[in-house]
Amino acid sequence: MSKRGAFIVIEGLDRSGKSTQTALLLSRLESARIPAKLLKFPDRTTAIGKMIDSYLKSQSDLDDHAIHLLFSANRWELASSIEHLLAAGTTVVCDRYAFSGIAFSASKGLPYEWCRAPDVSLPAPDLAVFLDITPEAAKARGGYGEERYEKEEMQRRVREVFRRIGEEIKGSGLGAWVWVDAGREKGVVAEEVWGHVELLARGVEGPLCRLWT
Ligand code: 2DT
Ligand code: MG
pLDDT per position as a tens digit, 106-121: 999 999 999 999 999 9
Domain count, the chain: 1
Give the residue from 96, 127, 106, 102 showing the smallest Cα distance to 208. Answer: 127
Q: What are the angstrom distances between the C-alpha of 46 and each of 10, 53, 74, 174, 201? A: 21, 10, 8, 29, 28
Domain extent for 30: 7-201
Alpha-carbon span 35 to 27, nearest angstrom? 11
Q: How far is the CA of 18 from the centre of ligand 2 (A)?
A: 10
Report the complex ipTM. 0.98
Q: How many residues belong to the chain?
A: 213
CB atoms within 10 A of CB 200: 18
**Nearest atom within ligand 1 for CA of residue 95:** 3
Question: How confident is the model over 32-83, as pLDDT tens digits?
Answer: 999 999 999 999 999 999 999 999 999 999 999 999 999 999 999 999 999 9
Does some domain include residue 159?
A: yes
Does some domain include residue 211?
A: no
Does some domain include residue 210?
A: no
Does some domain include residue 53?
A: yes
Does some domain include residue 77?
A: yes
Instruction: Give nearest CA residue, ligand 1 atom 11.
Output: 101
Does some domain include residue 94?
A: yes
What CATH number does the domain containing 107 carry? 3.40.50.300
Instruction: Give nearest CA residue, ligand 1 atom 5.
Output: 42
Does some domain include residue 207?
A: no
Does some domain include residue 45?
A: yes
* Banded model confidence at residue 172, pLDDT cuts 50, 70, 90: confident
Q: How far is the CA of 13 from the centre of ligand 2 (A)?
A: 8
